[in-house]
């Protein structure tokens, strides 16, 4: 799949707006520094004059001019940092401000076009638009590790949840070093989707590419592209994203209409991502026996062999919250 010109231009406008906002931040910081530290401006002003003099010396054949200029500039840099620190500012307070330091808010890494590589932040914006992930974006803003609570769990249910949380934190911590997949299963409303969102939020903050699908949306999309012979290139690009994205989350497996096409596509997805060592998270309300009965033995084998299994139990937290809110309003 490819972005339309309009979608691409929209992303580029956001980058421009980000650069403008960061530029204003820099201007505000600079004004604050000059207002509090007049000597800082004097040091900056001295650089232009000395640089001009050293350039003239270099033209006149003075081989010591360039090393001397470098030493002067380094001395000025240290003096400016000392002034900032003494005045209560961080030493890097006037360093360039970037929302994404890797691409400097351009969307592209260093290199001459067309050899420029897309930055991870641009790639994630493309994925978010192509696969309409506004739902996961809004969800993780509310549901993440900072809002995690053990309030609704007790006894064995609490042990299961704490164990799952520990595995999620390990998953995030070791994401770049260790290939790992997670499989959340158990009763309805016990935190499976919540924990998937917690991981997604942490990895997105790290600049990792994440695609989220509800199970039904994934297989509906695959069916639409597979059986429309006019968009074979779209199907190919979709597979490339599905197989190569750093993390794919398949939520609510088992809610789709299961048939031979779905089983075949699910196996291909799990198998290809495993071969490419790309992480996958699956959540389902199905038990392990139901999983084996609904899909094939080879899918069951792939999941039980290549995924860390996290069982969650207890009553439906969403329902308990609704009932609690109703009681509070009475």
pLDDT in tens, 123-155: 888 887 776 654 677 777 788 899 998 988 999
Alpha-carbon distances, residue 295 vs 188, 289, 301 (angstroms): 20, 10, 11
**Can you list the domains of the chain with their CATH numbers?**
131-326 (3.40.50.300)
Tell me the average pLDDT of the chain: 87
Q: How confident is the model at residue 2 (pLDDT cuts 50, 70, 90)?
A: low
For position 328, what pLDDT does the model report? 45
Query: 185 with 283: CB under 8 angstroms?
Result: yes
% residues pLDDT > 70 (the chain): 92
Strand order in the sheet with 210-214: 210-214, 247-253, 279-284, 182-186, 308-312
Q: What does the alpha-carbon distance between residue 313 and residue 316 come to, in Å, rounded to a whole number?
A: 9
Task: Give the DSSP letter of residue 116.
Answer: P
- H helix intervals, the chain: 5-36, 38-59, 65-86, 120-130, 134-142, 155-173, 192-205, 215-227, 232-244, 260-275, 288-294, 297-306, 317-329
Q: What does the alpha-carbon distance between residue 221 and residue 229 come to, in Å, rounded to a whole number?
A: 14
Q: Residue 71 pLDDT > 90, yes or no?
A: no
For position 115, what pLDDT does the model report? 53
pLDDT in tens, 223-262: 988 888 777 878 888 898 899 999 999 999 999 998 999 9
Collect all residues with Cβ–Cβ distance below 8 Å to 284 and sequence separation of at least 6.
183, 184, 185, 192, 215, 252, 253, 254, 291
Provide the β-strand partners of residue 308: 182
Provide the β-strand partners of residue 282: 183, 250
DSSP 274-293: HHTT-EEEEEES--HHHHHH
For position 133, what pLDDT does the model report? 55
Least trusted range by pLDDT, from 54-68, 84-98, 230-244: 54-68
Q: Residue 59 pLDDT > 60, yes or no?
A: yes
Give the residue from 215, 43, 231, 11 showing the smallest Cα distance to 127: 11
pLDDT in tens, 144-190: 899 998 988 999 999 999 999 999 999 999 999 999 999 999 999 89
Q: Residue 324 pLDDT > 70, yes or no?
A: no
Give the total residue count for the chain. Answer: 330
Q: Specify the pTM.
A: 0.73
Mean pLDDT of 309-316: 91
Alpha-carbon distances, residue 224 vs 179, 197, 218 (angstroms): 31, 27, 10
Q: What does the alpha-carbon distance between residue 312 and residue 163 come to, in Å, rounded to a whole number?
A: 9
Alpha-carbon distances, residue 250 vs 30, 182, 211, 323, 326 (angstroms): 47, 11, 9, 29, 32
pLDDT in tens, 210-220: 999 999 999 99
């Amino acid at each position: 799949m490819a972005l339309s010109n309009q979608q691409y231009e929209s992303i580029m406008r956001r980058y421009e707006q980000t650069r403008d906002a960061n530029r204003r931040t820099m201007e505000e910081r600079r004004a604050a520094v000059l207002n509090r530290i007049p000597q800082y401006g004097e040091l900056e002003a001295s650089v232009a004059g000395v640089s001009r003099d050293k350039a003239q010396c270099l033209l006149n054949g003075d081989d010591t001019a360039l090393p001397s200029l470098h030493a002067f500039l380094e001395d000025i840099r240290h003096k400016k940092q000392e002034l900032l620190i003494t005045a209560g500012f961080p030493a890097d307070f006037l360093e360039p401000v970037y929302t994404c330091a890797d691409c400097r808010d351009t969307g592209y890494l260093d290199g001459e076009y067309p050899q420029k590589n897309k930055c991870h932040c641009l790639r994630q914006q493309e994925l978010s638009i192509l696969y309409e992930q506004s739902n996961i974006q809004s969800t993780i803003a509310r549901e993440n590790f900072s809002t995690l609570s053990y309030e609704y769990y007790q006894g064995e249910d609490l042990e299961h949840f704490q164990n799952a949380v520990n595995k999620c934190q390990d998953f995030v911590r070791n994401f770049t070093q260790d290939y790992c997949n997670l499989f959340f299963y158990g009763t309805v409303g016990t935190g499976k989707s919540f924990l998937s969102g917690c991981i997604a939020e942490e990895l997105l903050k790290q600049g990792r590419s994440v695609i989220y699908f509800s199970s039904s949306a994934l297989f509906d999309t695959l069916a639409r592209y597979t059986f429309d012979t006019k968009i074979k290139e779209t199907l190919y690009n979709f597979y490339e994203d599905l197989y190569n994205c750093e993390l794919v989350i398949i939520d609510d497996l088992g809610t789709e209409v299961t048939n031979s096409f779905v089983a075949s596509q699910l196996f291909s997805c799990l198998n290809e991502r495993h071969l490419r060592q790309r992480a996958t998270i699956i959540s389902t309300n199905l038990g392990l026996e139901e999983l084996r009965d609904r899909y094939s033995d080879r899918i069951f084998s792939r999941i039980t062999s290549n995924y860390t299994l996290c069982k969650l139990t207890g009553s439906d937290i969403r329902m308990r919250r609704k009932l609690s809110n109703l009681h509070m309003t009475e």
